[in-house]
Amino acid sequence: MAQPVTKAIFPVAGLGTRFLPATKANPKEMLPIVDKPLIQYAVEEAIKAGITELIFVTSSSKRAIEDHFDTNFELEYRLQQQGKTELLDMVQKIVPKGVDCIYVRQPQALGLGHAVLCARQVVGNYPFAVLLADDLIDANTPCLTQMMKIYHETESSVIAVEKIASEDSEKYGVIAVDQNWRGQGPIQAIVEKPKPQDAPSNLAVVGRYILTAKIFEHLAKVPPGRGGEIQLTDAIASLLKEQKAMGIQFDGIRYDCGSKLGYMQATITLGLRHPELGAEFRAFLQEAVS
């Protein structure tokens, strides 16, 4: 039986250059979609999939993330005094009981692979998930839950992918699959940001991974790749030489909230669905575009 996956790494130490100037002093993971920061959506997805240990790989400019998941005594006291029990309850349940937060520093933004490697001591010899909070995935069954099912069936690493237009291949890791691919299957190869003519398929890696602890050995030895960064994709390519990994085209829609357009699309989609604001927002949008 596969070891249960209870640990998740949230690499949040990137510089967020695509979203400047908003991300100059504020972490991009704290950008709200309606009323909740991106990182909280990712944390909720992880908890729904059975994760109980949240490992944040942070940097000096990301303290707001630690504060968000910590107790705010003054706020809670005030809400209690004012009888705002619903708000109090909501604030207190951001991290449910039985779930722990652990923070690890990435001293320099040396790449996603390096950020994951920074969490090695905390993860130990266990399988773990990686969630990139700027990829917000809107799905009936949370994306990580869909991936867990395949992890338990195959006892191997699982990587979420989606179809992209071929001209976008240089923005992503792209996987090669065999002719039996029907939305999921073994990954034959993986390449970081290939040119469209070199891309092995139109299946691009998005920000959700379940990885075996073996990946750390590969992360520790892969040389810096594109952009001089330690690439998680390169370590996965190296892992594939000794272990199987599965790809899954998840059911759901991914919004790249690290880009301004993706962020606006997510805001509109979730805004329209918001229980308190949805109807009014829809009416406003209809008038605004007419």
Per DSSP, 247 falls in state E
CA angle 204-240-166, nearest 5°?
Answer: 20
Cα–Cα dist 6/267, whole Å: 30
* Closer Cβ to ligand UTP, 88 or 118, answer by number: 118
Query: Using the rule CB under 6 A, is 271 a contact of ligand UTP?
Result: no
The two tokens of residue 150 are: 């395949």
Per-position x/- string for 160-189, each x denoting binding to ligand UTP as judged by CB under 6 A, each - no binding: ------------------------------
Query: Using the rule CB under 6 A, is 16 a contact of ligand UTP?
Result: yes
Cα–Cα dist 273/275, whole Å: 6
Beta carbon of residue 6, minimum distance to ligand UTP (angstroms, whole number): 21
Binding-site member from 9, 30, 55, 112 for ligand UTP (CB under 6 A):
112
Is 34 in contact with 277 (CB distance < 8 Å)? yes
Query: Using the rule CB under 6 A, is 17 a contact of ligand UTP?
Result: yes
Query: Using the rule CB under 6 A, is 225 a contact of ligand UTP?
Result: no
Per-position x/- string for 34-73, each x denoting binding to ligand UTP as judged by CB under 6 A, each - no binding: -----------------------x----------------
Pairing of strands 203-211, 157-163: antiparallel
Query: CA Rg, the chain, in Å?
Result: 19
Cα–Cα dist 20/284, whole Å: 28
Residues at the site binding ligand UTP, with contacts judged by CB under 6 A: 11-19, 57, 106, 109-112, 114-115, 132-134, 258
